[in-house]
Homo-oligomer: A and B are copies of this chain.
């Protein structure tokens, strides 16, 4: 969990609900927004328009997609929010990147915040917040920073893809679907990493291996915190059957819902596997300790009695008849040889060797 950020959440304690504050780290320098306005035959696009331009481009009969990258420009976001009649609390939610994924239905609007999964690097998944707003003829997306994820959709829009024939709700679906599908990439990476760690645990377990397993587990916990509320949110979309989303599009959301369940189940499985590996590591360590102690005991059991025997004949008593025997030395060596053999034999019977 990124503590540095959350400290900022706690800083909001005591502020009135209307207070707008960007909670999170500034991840981009960009300070502006894009607008794509399209219908089946026509598409107009503008990067970083000013507000006057914006009003011109936005067409009520088109589907309008306004995408904002970077949340540190509080003023801009407030202006856009008010322009589209967002509730003050929703504008606050957009700015708070620690917000829990949530779905809200208003009269003419749907408000949906969720997390975009970034790359899985160094056993770490980064998540970014995204807020989506769906209205009758527009979709607003507020991201922490520019993201390549949506480029494909933009390209398809420009390339007269089938999205162009549909309404704003279908664009909204495509965006949510793209974000959800992207979780599979992380799942695959995690599961590849797990196989690496599995080999390490059974072949060459070090303290580092366990550390990495713990770290992976920690990340899976964070991942779950991101995906579970998304599942709930999509379930809500399906259940509440708002008028803004067409019934036909709703059919697609039931597919998204299946994916979120599948991801959640896979996460649970991965977590079980990590826990299993963690247990296997401990058992392995125990087993190796057992082996080491066995060796110690074998060595001690053989040499302690022998060392005692040679000690006996190292004593300086004047009257020790054996010492003067001619065959004393070879006999005692032979005797010790049999003692040693006997010990090995005994331990073989106990299945230690």
On whether the beta carbons of A318 and B324 are closer than 8 Å, the reply is yes
Distance between Cα atoms of A156 and B19 in the complex (Å):
13
Distance between Cα atoms of A14 and B175 in the complex (Å):
9
Indicate with 1 or 0, residue by residue over A321-346, a CB within 8 angstroms of chain B CB atoms: 01111111100110000000000000
A4 CB, min distance to chain B CBs, angstroms: 10
On whether the beta carbons of A191 and B6 are closer than 8 Å, the reply is yes
Chain B residue numbers with a CB within 8 Å of A314 are: 310-311, 314-316
* Residue among B100, B192, B195, B299 making CB contact with A258, cutoff 8 Å: B100
- Cβ of A127 within 8 Å of any chain B Cβ, yes or no, is no
Taking residues whose C-beta sits less than 8 angstroms from the other chain, chain A's interface range is 35 or more
Q: A89-B251, A192-B3, A326-B319 are in contact. Are A290 and B285 (CB under 8 A)?
A: yes
Chain B residue numbers with a CB within 8 Å of A316 are: 313-316, 320, 323
Closest residue of B by beta carbon distance from A211: B202
- Cβ of A41 within 8 Å of any chain B Cβ, yes or no, is no
Chain B residue numbers with a CB within 8 Å of A18 are: 162
Q: Which of A161, A181, A261, A352 has the most CB of B within 10 A?
A: A181
Chain B residue numbers with a CB within 8 Å of A6 are: 184, 187-188, 191
On whether the beta carbons of A149 and B14 are closer than 8 Å, the reply is yes
A7 CB, min distance to chain B CBs, angstroms: 5
* Residue among B7, B192, B207 making CB contact with A287, cutoff 8 Å: B207
Main secondary structure of the interface of A (DSSP, over half): helix
On whether the beta carbons of A13 and B162 are closer than 8 Å, the reply is no
Distance between Cα atoms of A332 and B322 in the complex (Å):
15
Find residues 5-40 in chain A having any chain B CB closer than 8 Å to their own CB.
Answer: 6-7, 9-10, 12-14, 16-18
On whether the beta carbons of B195 and A3 are closer than 8 Å, the reply is yes
Find residues 246-292 in chain A having any chain B CB closer than 8 Å to their own CB.
Answer: 251-252, 255, 258, 261-262, 265-266, 269, 272-273, 276-290, 292
On whether the beta carbons of B174 and A16 are closer than 8 Å, the reply is yes
Q: A192-B3, A283-B285 are in contact. Are A304 and B315 (CB under 8 A)?
A: no
> Which one of A49-57, A58-66, A214-222 contacts B?
A214-222
Closest residue of B by beta carbon distance from A100: B262
A-B contact pairs, 24 of them (CB 8 A): A6-B187, A9-B188, A10-B185, A10-B187, A16-B156, A17-B255, A100-B261, A102-B258, A210-B280, A214-B280, A222-B269, A283-B285, A292-B297, A292-B352, A296-B297, A296-B301, A300-B304, A304-B307, A308-B310, A310-B315, A313-B315, A316-B320, A319-B325, A319-B326
The 3 lowest CB-CB distance pairs between A and B, nearest first, are A310-B311, A13-B181, A10-B184
